[in-house]
A and B are shown apart, each in its own frame.
Chain A
Amino acid sequence: MEPRPRSFYVLAGFFTLFMLFLYGPTITIGILSFQGPGGGLTFPMQGTSLHWFRDLFEKQAVGDIWGSFRRSFMLGLMVMVTTVVVSVMGGLAFRKRFPGSSVLFYLIITSLVIPSILISLGVGLMFSQGGLDVHWATSGYGAQLTWTLPFGLLIMFAVFNRFDKSYEEAARDLGATPWQTLRHVVLPIIAPSLIGVALFGFTLSYDEFARTLLTSGSYNTLPLEIFGMTTNVTTPVLYALGTLTTAFSLVIIGVFLCIALWGARRKAKVGSDAGSGLV
């Protein structure tokens, strides 16, 4: 291997600084959430304790954190499942170049770039003018889909751009019906990417703030609850909650990555019978 040029070390240094910039603040509040009972929002640490985490679990003076967590989790799962199913169907639809597909494509782009507060305002108005109550599981759910679906579809476009059509042709030549081709050839091949779509669906919903602001009704989701806390909570309990939520997100990401890794291993092991021979 040729020796690394000097630019490598400069760029590696830049990358390290970028990582510090990206993760430094989060790590800092992680440390500060173990602040002693007398400590404040900044350094120095007044001893270390689990005081603020205990606070979070014990008294409910800081709002309905666990209720909002349950709602956010449920909503995340609902949005995740819908995003995966609708994105796969949408991705398959766009392969057929049906009339009107370009209009639909521009709608997807609009959905992606439209300021979130417009969705919040519009969906809120739609429900109030229609005489319906806004609720996280109806209006909030729909509003969040306008954010997760474009990402899901963009991933599906990327997947199908790289999809080798000869697999389908082979299936067809062997007499498979379109449904069989889809079920036994296409879906298994794109399955790993669906893990990515699911990850986007869940996390984008779980962290979404602006689009749920006016559409969640009287029961807050977790990000709304946290934002409410920023205006009236001035103790490290805020950091403790932040640390817990971030840890939860990291666990979710970890789970998805493990599933993806397991899928890739399994595919490598049982996906091909090449070399096993017939005799």
Chain B
Amino acid sequence: MENLLRNKALSGWLLATPLTLVLAFFLVLPIILIVVVSFWQATEFSIIPAFTWENYEFLFGSPVTYKVFLNTFKYAAITWAMTLLIGFTVAYFLAFHVRTQTWQIALFLLCTIPFWTSNIIRMISWIPFLGRNGIANSALLSWGVIDEPLEWLLFSDFAVVLAFVHLYTLFMVVPIFNTMMRIDRSLIEAARDAGANGAQILWNVIIPLTKPGMMIGTIFVVALVMGDFITVRFMSGSQSANVGRLISNDIALLNYPSAAATAVVLLLTVLLTIGILLRFVDIRKEL
């Protein structure tokens, strides 16, 4: 044991073994299998290990695919913009306007607690708000803003994006707050001494220094939204589709090869997007 701990490479490998095993068995192997199965054939009742391109041909030959991919990007882009805006503002308030550390920690915790509760319940909890007879509609009706209940509040793209923002803004708040707290306060003082006003400090000092945090938040939000299928299914009332839903529909039909082919394309898309984002930030350094 003593000698092992002294040999850096060997002890490093030994310590990393459990992690490597878990990832090999439950991440790498499943991905390989998905790639393999995406070239298999499917009949109505079973899947056959015979090489074919037909799953990909069907996928790229169908106009639905392009529409659904476009829709996935749309959700990701809108959600990203909203979460970044809200997340930055909240983090900025916590980091620069709340003065005592106790309050900072308390309010920060308040922001993070929902993350540790169930996403499904949090989606369900929008029903009484957005439903046809929900709080939003009754309030708008009683104020005379609208004459009849709005139908597009629940089970629509609006509801999907709302739920995404509700679920994932936290992933922006946490890394942005983390980066902001590491900004050297004397830089801000220097800017103020040099005559910068609040807006200039925000734009020329704080935002540039907060970029790594925004990048990490972006990676989380984009990955989560692009890989989602359950939020879209639940909040759109099965009326909208993203790539995740395409996969889950194929799975429900037991057409695993087709699901696998879509999954491979989705995985490549996500990894490419995240790969590009990772060029702008060194995650390990920023933690």
Interface status of A98 (Cβ within 8 A of chain B): yes
Given contacts A11-B89, A22-B166, A177-B2, A253 and B13 within 8 Å (CB-CB): no
> Please, which residues of chain A bring their CB within 8 A of the CB of B234?
230
By the criterion CB–CB under 8 Å, are B18 and A112 in contact?
A: no
Contact, CB under 8 Å: A93 / B30: no
B212 to chain A minimum Cβ distance, whole angstroms, is 13
Within the complex, the shortest CB–CB distance from B183 to chain A, in Å, comes to 16
A178 touches B5 (CB 8 A): yes
Q: Which residues on the B side are within 8 Å of A116 (C-beta)?
A: 227
- Mark interface residues in B1-44 (1 if CB within 8 Å of A CB, else 0): 11001101101111111111011011111110110010000000
Distance to closest chain A CB from B191 (angstroms): 15
Contact A179 B26, beta carbon cutoff 8 Å: no
Contact of A122 among B34, B126, B129 (CB under 8 A): B34
CB contacts (< 8 Å) of B206 on chain A: these are none
Which of A46-54, A56-64, A149-157, A271-279 lies at the interface with chain B? A149-157
- Asked if residues B16 and A253 are in contact (CB atoms below 8 Å), the reply is no
Contact B27 A146 (CB under 8 A): yes
Distance between Cα atoms of A96 and B33 in the complex (Å):
32
Cα separation A207 to B114 with both chains bound (whole Å): 11
Report the minimum CB–CB distance from A18 to chain B (whole Å). Answer: 6
Q: Which of chain B's residues have a CB closer than 8 A to the CB of A14? A: 89-90, 93
Residues of A134-162 whose CB lies within 8 A of B: 142-143, 145-146, 149, 153-154, 157-158, 161
B220-244 residues with Cβ-Cβ distance < 8 A to A are: 223, 226-230, 234, 244
Which of B125, B198, B260 has the most chain A CB atoms inside 10 A of its CB?
A: B125
CA A158 to CA B174, docked complex, whole Å: 13
Judge whether B30 and A118 touch: CB under 8 Å: yes
CB 8 Å contact bits of A78-93 with B (1 = contact, 0 = none)? 0000000111011011
8 Å CB contacts to B: which residues of A96-154? 96-101, 104-105, 107-119, 121-123, 125-126, 129, 142-143, 145-146, 149, 153-154
Q: How far is the CA of A100 from the CA of B10 in the complex (A)?
A: 12
Complex formed: what's the CA distance from A207 to B287 in Å?
Answer: 25
* Contacting residue for A117 out of B13, B107, B244, CB 8 A: B244
Chain B contacts to A: CB under 8 angstroms: 1-2, 5-6, 8-9, 11-20, 22-23, 25-31, 33-34, 37, 86, 89-90, 92-94, 97, 99, 107, 109-111, 113-114, 116-122, 124-129, 131, 133-135, 138, 166, 169, 198, 219, 223, 226-230, 234, 244, 247-248, 251, 256, 259-260, 263, 266-267, 270-271, 274, 278, 283-285, 287
Query: What are the 5 A-B residue pairs with the smallest beta carbon separation, nearest first?
Result: A122-B30, A115-B227, A98-B12, A93-B15, A178-B5
